Amino acid sequence: MNYAYEACNRQGEHFQGQIEAGSRQEAAHKIRRQGLWITSLQEVMAKSPHAGPISHLRRLFTGREISPAQTACFCRQMAVLLTAGMPVHEALKSLLAGGGQGSYGQLLARLYQNVLKGRALSAAMEEESGSFSPQVIRLVEAGEQGGSLEAIFNRLADFLEQSVKAKEKMKSILLYPAIIAITALVVLIFMTLFILPTFASLLANLQSELPLATKLLLQLSAFLQERGQLLCVLSLPCLGILYIISQLPQIRFICARLLLSLPFMGRLAQHTAWSLVLGTLALLIEQGIVLHEALKMAAKTAGNPYLEQEILQVQAKVEQGSSLMKALSPCPFFPPMLQEMLEAGEQSGQLETMLNKAAAFCQVLAENESARLQALAEPAAIFAVGGLVFFMVMAVIMPLLNTMDALTM
Protein backbone atom coordinates (compact mmCIF):
# COMPACT_ATOMS: atom_id res chain seq x y z
CA MET A 1 0.00 0.00 0.00
CA ASN A 2 1.07 3.59 -0.63
CA TYR A 3 0.76 6.38 1.93
CA ALA A 4 0.94 10.12 1.24
CA TYR A 5 2.64 12.02 4.02
CA GLU A 6 3.61 15.49 5.11
CA ALA A 7 6.40 15.92 7.65
CA CYS A 8 9.06 18.32 8.93
CA ASN A 9 12.58 18.00 10.32
CA ARG A 10 14.42 19.61 13.23
CA GLN A 11 15.17 22.72 11.16
CA GLY A 12 11.47 23.25 10.42
CA GLU A 13 11.74 22.28 6.74
CA HIS A 14 8.58 20.72 5.34
CA PHE A 15 8.55 17.55 3.23
CA GLN A 16 5.85 15.67 1.41
CA GLY A 17 5.75 12.54 -0.67
CA GLN A 18 4.60 8.95 -0.83
CA ILE A 19 5.97 5.85 0.83
CA GLU A 20 5.20 2.18 0.32
CA ALA A 21 4.47 0.10 3.41
CA GLY A 22 2.44 -2.88 4.54
CA SER A 23 0.49 -0.88 7.11
CA ARG A 24 -0.01 2.64 8.45
CA GLN A 25 2.22 1.89 11.46
CA GLU A 26 5.02 0.60 9.24
CA ALA A 27 4.77 3.71 7.04
CA ALA A 28 4.99 5.96 10.09
CA HIS A 29 7.98 4.01 11.39
CA LYS A 30 9.83 4.38 8.07
CA ILE A 31 9.20 8.12 7.99
CA ARG A 32 10.39 8.59 11.59
CA ARG A 33 13.61 6.70 10.84
CA GLN A 34 14.42 9.49 8.38
CA GLY A 35 14.42 11.98 11.25
CA LEU A 36 11.07 13.49 10.30
CA TRP A 37 8.03 14.37 12.37
CA ILE A 38 4.76 13.39 10.70
CA THR A 39 2.08 16.07 10.35
CA SER A 40 -0.18 14.12 7.96
CA LEU A 41 -0.35 10.50 6.84
CA GLN A 42 -3.07 9.17 4.54
CA GLU A 43 -3.46 6.03 2.49
CA VAL A 44 -3.77 6.63 -1.25
CA MET A 45 -5.46 4.39 -3.77
CA ALA A 46 -3.08 2.13 -5.65
CA LYS A 47 -2.38 3.72 -8.99
CA SER A 48 0.47 4.39 -11.32
CA PRO A 49 3.00 6.88 -10.01
CA HIS A 50 2.93 8.37 -13.44
CA ALA A 51 -0.72 9.39 -13.26
CA GLY A 52 -2.16 12.13 -15.41
CA PRO A 53 -3.62 11.87 -18.90
CA ILE A 54 -0.76 13.61 -20.71
CA SER A 55 1.89 11.62 -18.87
CA HIS A 56 -0.05 8.39 -19.42
CA LEU A 57 -0.39 9.02 -23.16
CA ARG A 58 3.27 9.94 -23.44
CA ARG A 59 4.31 6.73 -21.72
CA LEU A 60 1.87 4.73 -23.85
CA PHE A 61 3.30 5.92 -27.15
CA THR A 62 6.92 6.77 -26.30
CA GLY A 63 7.71 4.79 -23.13
CA ARG A 64 8.82 8.04 -21.46
CA GLU A 65 7.21 10.01 -18.65
CA ILE A 66 8.93 13.29 -19.59
CA SER A 67 10.03 14.49 -23.00
CA PRO A 68 13.67 14.51 -24.20
CA ALA A 69 13.56 18.31 -24.11
CA GLN A 70 12.62 18.20 -20.42
CA THR A 71 15.46 15.74 -19.76
CA ALA A 72 17.89 18.16 -21.42
CA CYS A 73 16.45 21.03 -19.37
CA PHE A 74 16.87 18.99 -16.16
CA CYS A 75 20.53 18.32 -16.95
CA ARG A 76 21.19 21.98 -17.77
CA GLN A 77 19.54 23.20 -14.56
CA MET A 78 21.39 20.64 -12.44
CA ALA A 79 24.68 21.65 -14.06
CA VAL A 80 24.10 25.33 -13.22
CA LEU A 81 23.07 24.65 -9.62
CA LEU A 82 25.85 22.16 -8.90
CA THR A 83 28.44 24.50 -10.42
CA ALA A 84 27.15 27.19 -8.05
CA GLY A 85 28.14 24.92 -5.14
CA MET A 86 24.75 23.49 -4.16
CA PRO A 87 24.62 19.90 -2.90
CA VAL A 88 22.49 17.51 -4.94
CA HIS A 89 19.49 17.48 -2.60
CA GLU A 90 19.45 21.29 -2.39
CA ALA A 91 19.62 21.53 -6.19
CA LEU A 92 16.65 19.16 -6.54
CA LYS A 93 14.75 21.09 -3.88
CA SER A 94 15.43 24.33 -5.76
CA LEU A 95 14.16 22.83 -9.03
CA LEU A 96 11.05 21.53 -7.27
CA ALA A 97 10.35 24.92 -5.72
CA GLY A 98 11.01 26.64 -9.03
CA GLY A 99 7.77 25.51 -10.58
CA GLY A 100 8.08 21.87 -11.53
CA GLN A 101 4.54 20.88 -12.50
CA GLY A 102 2.72 17.87 -13.88
CA SER A 103 4.72 14.72 -14.56
CA TYR A 104 7.99 16.68 -14.43
CA GLY A 105 7.17 18.00 -10.96
CA GLN A 106 6.24 14.51 -9.76
CA LEU A 107 9.53 13.19 -11.10
CA LEU A 108 11.51 15.89 -9.27
CA ALA A 109 9.62 15.12 -6.05
CA ARG A 110 10.44 11.41 -6.27
CA LEU A 111 14.10 12.11 -7.00
CA TYR A 112 14.26 14.54 -4.08
CA GLN A 113 12.69 12.09 -1.65
CA ASN A 114 15.01 9.27 -2.70
CA VAL A 115 18.11 11.46 -2.36
CA LEU A 116 16.94 12.58 1.11
CA LYS A 117 16.84 8.91 2.09
CA GLY A 118 20.56 8.75 1.40
CA ARG A 119 20.46 7.20 -2.04
CA ALA A 120 22.81 8.33 -4.80
CA LEU A 121 21.28 10.46 -7.55
CA SER A 122 22.10 7.84 -10.18
CA ALA A 123 20.28 5.18 -8.12
CA ALA A 124 17.26 7.47 -7.79
CA MET A 125 17.33 8.12 -11.54
CA GLU A 126 17.57 4.39 -12.23
CA GLU A 127 14.15 3.96 -10.62
CA GLU A 128 12.85 6.46 -13.20
CA SER A 129 13.93 4.47 -16.25
CA GLY A 130 10.86 5.71 -18.09
CA SER A 131 12.36 9.20 -17.99
CA PHE A 132 16.13 8.69 -18.08
CA SER A 133 17.92 6.50 -20.60
CA PRO A 134 20.54 3.96 -19.44
CA GLN A 135 23.23 6.16 -21.03
CA VAL A 136 22.28 9.17 -18.91
CA ILE A 137 22.09 7.11 -15.71
CA ARG A 138 25.45 5.44 -16.39
CA LEU A 139 27.13 8.80 -17.03
CA VAL A 140 25.70 10.34 -13.86
CA GLU A 141 26.99 7.34 -11.91
CA ALA A 142 30.44 7.81 -13.48
CA GLY A 143 30.32 11.51 -12.56
CA GLU A 144 29.46 10.66 -8.95
CA GLN A 145 32.36 8.23 -8.70
CA GLY A 146 34.79 10.66 -10.32
CA GLY A 147 33.65 13.72 -8.41
CA SER A 148 32.78 15.61 -11.61
CA LEU A 149 28.99 15.53 -11.52
CA GLU A 150 28.54 19.17 -12.59
CA ALA A 151 30.84 18.64 -15.61
CA ILE A 152 28.88 15.52 -16.57
CA PHE A 153 25.58 17.36 -16.39
CA ASN A 154 27.04 20.15 -18.55
CA ARG A 155 28.17 17.66 -21.22
CA LEU A 156 24.89 15.80 -21.00
CA ALA A 157 22.92 19.03 -21.41
CA ASP A 158 24.98 20.04 -24.46
CA PHE A 159 24.56 16.64 -26.05
CA LEU A 160 20.86 16.21 -25.26
CA GLU A 161 20.04 19.70 -26.53
CA GLN A 162 21.86 18.90 -29.76
CA SER A 163 20.00 15.59 -30.04
CA VAL A 164 16.62 17.27 -29.52
CA LYS A 165 17.50 19.90 -32.11
CA ALA A 166 18.51 17.27 -34.67
CA LYS A 167 15.37 15.21 -34.14
CA GLU A 168 13.10 18.26 -34.27
CA LYS A 169 14.72 19.34 -37.53
CA MET A 170 14.08 15.89 -38.97
CA LYS A 171 10.43 16.11 -37.89
CA SER A 172 10.01 19.57 -39.41
CA ILE A 173 11.37 18.36 -42.74
CA LEU A 174 8.98 15.40 -42.75
CA LEU A 175 6.06 17.57 -41.63
CA TYR A 176 6.04 19.86 -44.67
CA PRO A 177 5.55 17.09 -47.29
CA ALA A 178 2.94 15.49 -45.03
CA ILE A 179 0.93 18.73 -44.86
CA ILE A 180 1.17 19.16 -48.63
CA ALA A 181 0.08 15.56 -49.23
CA ILE A 182 -2.93 15.98 -46.93
CA THR A 183 -3.82 19.26 -48.68
CA ALA A 184 -3.62 17.58 -52.07
CA LEU A 185 -5.84 14.74 -50.84
CA VAL A 186 -8.42 17.21 -49.49
CA VAL A 187 -8.41 19.11 -52.80
CA LEU A 188 -8.87 15.87 -54.72
CA ILE A 189 -11.78 14.73 -52.54
CA PHE A 190 -13.43 18.19 -52.61
CA MET A 191 -13.27 18.49 -56.39
CA THR A 192 -14.35 14.90 -56.90
CA LEU A 193 -17.35 15.11 -54.54
CA PHE A 194 -18.55 18.69 -55.04
CA ILE A 195 -17.14 20.19 -58.25
CA LEU A 196 -17.09 17.27 -60.65
CA PRO A 197 -20.72 16.12 -60.07
CA THR A 198 -21.99 19.50 -61.36
CA PHE A 199 -20.33 18.72 -64.67
CA ALA A 200 -21.05 14.99 -64.69
CA SER A 201 -24.39 15.13 -66.47
CA LEU A 202 -23.06 17.66 -68.97
CA LEU A 203 -19.98 15.59 -69.73
CA ALA A 204 -22.02 12.40 -70.00
CA ASN A 205 -24.30 13.99 -72.64
CA LEU A 206 -21.48 15.13 -74.87
CA GLN A 207 -21.41 13.41 -78.22
CA SER A 208 -17.62 13.33 -78.43
CA GLU A 209 -15.45 10.61 -76.94
CA LEU A 210 -14.37 11.50 -73.40
CA PRO A 211 -10.65 11.45 -72.58
CA LEU A 212 -9.40 8.65 -70.34
CA ALA A 213 -8.64 11.09 -67.51
CA THR A 214 -12.23 12.39 -67.58
CA LYS A 215 -13.65 8.86 -67.51
CA LEU A 216 -11.48 7.94 -64.54
CA LEU A 217 -12.53 11.05 -62.61
CA LEU A 218 -16.22 10.45 -63.32
CA GLN A 219 -15.92 6.85 -62.13
CA LEU A 220 -14.04 7.97 -59.02
CA SER A 221 -16.69 10.59 -58.28
CA ALA A 222 -19.52 8.07 -58.65
CA PHE A 223 -17.70 5.55 -56.45
CA LEU A 224 -17.07 8.08 -53.67
CA GLN A 225 -20.68 9.26 -53.72
CA GLU A 226 -22.00 5.70 -53.48
CA ARG A 227 -19.41 4.21 -51.10
CA GLY A 228 -17.96 7.28 -49.38
CA GLN A 229 -19.66 6.63 -46.03
CA LEU A 230 -18.56 3.00 -46.05
CA LEU A 231 -15.00 4.06 -46.77
CA CYS A 232 -15.07 6.49 -43.83
CA VAL A 233 -16.35 3.76 -41.49
CA LEU A 234 -13.72 1.28 -42.65
CA SER A 235 -10.86 3.78 -42.64
CA LEU A 236 -10.50 3.88 -38.82
CA PRO A 237 -10.05 0.13 -38.25
CA CYS A 238 -7.80 -0.05 -41.32
CA LEU A 239 -5.61 2.73 -39.94
CA GLY A 240 -5.52 0.94 -36.59
CA ILE A 241 -4.43 -2.30 -38.25
CA LEU A 242 -1.77 -0.47 -40.26
CA TYR A 243 -0.47 1.15 -37.08
CA ILE A 244 -0.25 -2.22 -35.31
CA ILE A 245 1.54 -3.74 -38.31
CA SER A 246 3.95 -0.80 -38.47
CA GLN A 247 4.99 -1.49 -34.85
CA LEU A 248 6.06 -5.06 -35.61
CA PRO A 249 9.86 -5.39 -35.26
CA GLN A 250 10.23 -6.96 -38.71
CA ILE A 251 8.27 -4.16 -40.41
CA ARG A 252 10.11 -1.44 -38.47
CA PHE A 253 13.40 -3.02 -39.47
CA ILE A 254 12.46 -3.08 -43.17
CA CYS A 255 11.15 0.50 -43.09
CA ALA A 256 14.30 1.67 -41.30
CA ARG A 257 16.45 0.04 -44.00
CA LEU A 258 14.39 1.64 -46.77
CA LEU A 259 14.58 5.07 -45.13
CA LEU A 260 18.37 4.95 -45.16
CA SER A 261 18.32 4.04 -48.86
CA LEU A 262 16.20 7.02 -49.99
CA PRO A 263 18.03 9.51 -52.27
CA PHE A 264 17.83 12.68 -50.13
CA MET A 265 16.06 11.75 -46.90
CA GLY A 266 18.31 8.72 -46.51
CA ARG A 267 21.50 10.78 -46.33
CA LEU A 268 19.91 13.10 -43.77
CA ALA A 269 18.81 10.12 -41.64
CA GLN A 270 22.29 8.56 -41.88
CA HIS A 271 24.19 11.71 -40.87
CA THR A 272 21.76 12.47 -38.03
CA ALA A 273 21.97 8.93 -36.64
CA TRP A 274 25.77 8.75 -36.80
CA SER A 275 26.09 12.18 -35.20
CA LEU A 276 24.07 10.96 -32.21
CA VAL A 277 25.81 7.58 -31.98
CA LEU A 278 29.37 8.91 -32.26
CA GLY A 279 28.66 11.80 -29.87
CA THR A 280 27.22 9.41 -27.29
CA LEU A 281 30.14 7.03 -27.74
CA ALA A 282 32.65 9.84 -27.16
CA LEU A 283 30.82 11.00 -24.05
CA LEU A 284 30.77 7.49 -22.59
CA ILE A 285 34.44 6.77 -23.31
CA GLU A 286 35.47 10.11 -21.78
CA GLN A 287 33.96 8.90 -18.50
CA GLY A 288 35.98 5.69 -18.52
CA ILE A 289 33.32 3.30 -19.80
CA VAL A 290 34.93 0.49 -21.80
CA LEU A 291 34.46 0.57 -25.57
CA HIS A 292 32.30 -2.52 -26.04
CA GLU A 293 29.93 -1.47 -23.25
CA ALA A 294 29.82 2.08 -24.61
CA LEU A 295 28.94 0.76 -28.08
CA LYS A 296 26.06 -1.24 -26.66
CA MET A 297 24.67 1.84 -24.94
CA ALA A 298 25.33 4.20 -27.87
CA ALA A 299 23.49 1.91 -30.30
CA LYS A 300 20.19 2.83 -28.65
CA THR A 301 20.61 6.49 -29.63
CA ALA A 302 20.63 5.76 -33.38
CA GLY A 303 16.85 6.04 -33.60
CA ASN A 304 16.91 3.51 -36.44
CA PRO A 305 16.36 -0.22 -35.77
CA TYR A 306 18.51 -1.26 -38.73
CA LEU A 307 21.50 0.85 -37.70
CA GLU A 308 21.03 -0.21 -34.08
CA GLN A 309 21.38 -3.87 -35.05
CA GLU A 310 24.44 -3.13 -37.18
CA ILE A 311 26.11 -1.27 -34.30
CA LEU A 312 25.35 -4.15 -31.94
CA GLN A 313 27.15 -6.45 -34.40
CA VAL A 314 30.10 -4.04 -34.29
CA GLN A 315 29.95 -4.20 -30.48
CA ALA A 316 30.11 -8.00 -30.57
CA LYS A 317 33.22 -7.90 -32.79
CA VAL A 318 34.92 -5.33 -30.53
CA GLU A 319 34.14 -7.46 -27.47
CA GLN A 320 35.88 -10.37 -29.20
CA GLY A 321 39.04 -8.28 -29.63
CA SER A 322 38.59 -6.52 -32.96
CA SER A 323 39.54 -2.86 -33.37
CA LEU A 324 36.71 -0.35 -33.71
CA MET A 325 37.68 0.68 -37.23
CA LYS A 326 38.00 -2.90 -38.43
CA ALA A 327 34.57 -3.71 -36.98
CA LEU A 328 32.97 -0.57 -38.45
CA SER A 329 34.39 -0.93 -41.98
CA PRO A 330 31.81 -3.44 -43.30
CA CYS A 331 28.95 -1.59 -41.58
CA PRO A 332 26.47 -0.33 -44.22
CA PHE A 333 25.82 3.42 -44.41
CA PHE A 334 28.89 4.29 -42.35
CA PRO A 335 30.36 7.49 -43.89
CA PRO A 336 33.64 6.50 -45.65
CA MET A 337 35.25 9.88 -44.88
CA LEU A 338 35.17 9.05 -41.17
CA GLN A 339 37.15 5.82 -41.42
CA GLU A 340 40.62 7.39 -41.54
CA MET A 341 39.66 9.86 -38.80
CA LEU A 342 38.63 7.12 -36.36
CA GLU A 343 41.57 4.91 -37.33
CA ALA A 344 43.96 7.77 -36.50
CA GLY A 345 42.18 8.26 -33.18
CA GLU A 346 42.59 4.59 -32.27
CA GLN A 347 46.27 4.51 -33.18
CA SER A 348 47.08 7.74 -31.32
CA GLY A 349 45.06 6.87 -28.21
CA GLN A 350 42.75 9.85 -28.73
CA LEU A 351 39.67 7.98 -29.84
CA GLU A 352 37.19 10.09 -27.84
CA THR A 353 38.61 13.30 -29.38
CA MET A 354 38.23 11.94 -32.91
CA LEU A 355 34.76 10.63 -32.10
CA ASN A 356 33.73 14.13 -31.01
CA LYS A 357 35.13 15.59 -34.24
CA ALA A 358 33.41 12.90 -36.31
CA ALA A 359 30.09 13.58 -34.55
CA ALA A 360 30.47 17.32 -35.21
CA PHE A 361 31.30 16.60 -38.87
CA CYS A 362 28.20 14.41 -39.23
CA GLN A 363 26.13 17.16 -37.63
CA VAL A 364 27.39 19.66 -40.23
CA LEU A 365 26.57 17.21 -43.03
CA ALA A 366 23.09 16.69 -41.57
CA GLU A 367 22.48 20.44 -41.38
CA ASN A 368 23.63 20.90 -44.99
CA GLU A 369 21.39 18.06 -46.14
CA SER A 370 18.51 19.52 -44.15
CA ALA A 371 18.94 22.93 -45.79
CA ARG A 372 19.06 21.28 -49.22
CA LEU A 373 15.89 19.31 -48.54
CA GLN A 374 14.04 22.35 -47.24
CA ALA A 375 15.06 24.29 -50.36
CA LEU A 376 13.74 21.51 -52.62
CA ALA A 377 10.61 20.66 -50.65
CA GLU A 378 8.63 23.86 -51.24
CA PRO A 379 8.87 24.08 -55.05
CA ALA A 380 8.43 20.32 -55.39
CA ALA A 381 5.30 20.36 -53.23
CA ILE A 382 3.84 23.37 -55.06
CA PHE A 383 4.54 21.69 -58.40
CA ALA A 384 2.90 18.45 -57.24
CA VAL A 385 -0.27 20.12 -55.94
CA GLY A 386 -0.44 22.46 -58.92
CA GLY A 387 -0.04 19.52 -61.28
CA LEU A 388 -2.87 17.64 -59.57
CA VAL A 389 -5.24 20.60 -59.75
CA PHE A 390 -4.25 21.29 -63.37
CA PHE A 391 -4.90 17.64 -64.28
CA MET A 392 -8.37 17.71 -62.74
CA VAL A 393 -9.31 21.04 -64.32
CA MET A 394 -8.12 19.93 -67.74
CA ALA A 395 -9.96 16.63 -67.38
CA VAL A 396 -13.19 18.64 -67.04
CA ILE A 397 -12.49 21.45 -69.49
CA MET A 398 -10.91 19.49 -72.35
CA PRO A 399 -14.13 17.60 -73.29
CA LEU A 400 -16.02 20.91 -73.29
CA LEU A 401 -13.43 22.53 -75.54
CA ASN A 402 -13.43 19.54 -77.88
CA THR A 403 -17.22 19.70 -78.13
CA MET A 404 -17.16 23.46 -78.84
CA ASP A 405 -14.56 22.92 -81.56
CA ALA A 406 -16.73 20.20 -83.10
CA LEU A 407 -19.80 22.47 -83.09
CA THR A 408 -17.98 25.38 -84.75
CA MET A 409 -16.69 23.24 -87.58
Question: Which class is domain 261-356?
Answer: mainly alpha
User: If you count them, how many residues does the chain have?
Assistant: 409
DSSP string, 283-322: HHHHTT--HHHHHHHHGGGS--HHHHHHHHHHHHHHHTT-
Q: Residue 70 to residues 77, 152, 180: CA-CA distances in angstroms?
A: 10, 17, 30
pLDDT number for residue 198: 74
The sign one gets for the Cα dihedral 24, 25, 29, 35 is positive
Residue pair 275/362 in contact by the 8 Å Cβ criterion: yes
pLDDT number for residue 312: 92
Query: 3-state class of 265 per DSSP?
Result: helix
DSSP string, 347-404: HHT-HHHHHHHHHHHHHHHHHHHHHHHHHHHHHHHHHHHHHHHHHHHHHHHHHHHHHH
The rounded distance, in Å, linking the Cα atoms of 76 and 162 is 12
Mean pLDDT of the chain: 79
Most confident of 22-26, 291-295, 395-399: 291-295
Which of 51-65, 182-196, 237-251, 332-346 is predicted with the least confidence, judged by mean pLDDT?
Answer: 51-65
CB within 8 A of 32, min separation 6: which ones? 38
Q: Compute CA 371 distance to the chain's CA centroid, rounded to the nearest angstrom.
A: 21
Residue pair 262/268 in contact by the 8 Å Cβ criterion: no
Q: What is the mean pLDDT of residues 84-103?
A: 83
Other residues' Cβ atoms within 10 Å of the Cβ of residue 230: 9
Return the percentage of the chain with pLDDT > 70, whole number: 84
Partners of residue 47 on adjacent β-strands: none
Query: 3-state class of 117 per DSSP?
Result: coil
Q: Identify which has the larger pLDDT, 88 or 377.
A: 88
* Amino acid at the residue 385: V
Q: What is the CA radius of gyration of the chain?
A: 30
Partners of residue 44 on adjacent β-strands: 2
pLDDT number for residue 232: 81
- Reported for 55-61, long-range contacts at CB under 8 A and 24+ positions apart, including other chains, are 55/102, 55/103, 55/106, 58/103, 59/130
Residue pair 38/8 in contact by the 8 Å Cβ criterion: no
Position 10 confidence tier, pLDDT thresholds 50, 70, 90: low
Residue 54 has pLDDT above 60, yes or no: no
pLDDT number for residue 171: 77
DSSP string, 204-250: HT-SSPPPHHHHHHHHHHHHHHHHHHHHHHHHHHHHHHHHHHHTSHH
- Host H or E run for residue 281: helix 265-286
Residue 61 has pLDDT above 50, yes or no: no
The rounded distance, in Å, linking the Cα atoms of 124 and 110 is 8
Q: Residue 332 to residues 256, 262, 274, 327, 328: CA-CA distances in angstroms?
A: 13, 14, 12, 11, 9
Residue 18 has pLDDT above 80, yes or no: no
Position 314 confidence tier, pLDDT thresholds 50, 70, 90: very high
Q: What is the mean pLDDT of residues 201-213?
A: 69
Position 53 confidence tier, pLDDT thresholds 50, 70, 90: very low
Other residues' Cβ atoms within 10 Å of the Cβ of residue 354: 21
Report pLDDT digits (tens) over 224-274: 778 877 888 888 888 889 889 888 888 888 988 998 998 888 888 898 889
Position 134 confidence tier, pLDDT thresholds 50, 70, 90: confident
Q: What is the mean pLDDT of residues 38-65?
A: 48
The rounded distance, in Å, linking the Cα atoms of 277 and 306 is 13
Angle 123-128-132 from CA coordinates, rounded to 5°:
95
Position 62 confidence tier, pLDDT thresholds 50, 70, 90: very low
Return the percentage of the chain with pLDDT > 90, whole number: 7
pLDDT number for residue 59: 42
Q: Is 184 exposed, middle or buried (0-12, 13-18, 19+ CB in 10 A)?
A: middle
pLDDT number for residue 13: 66
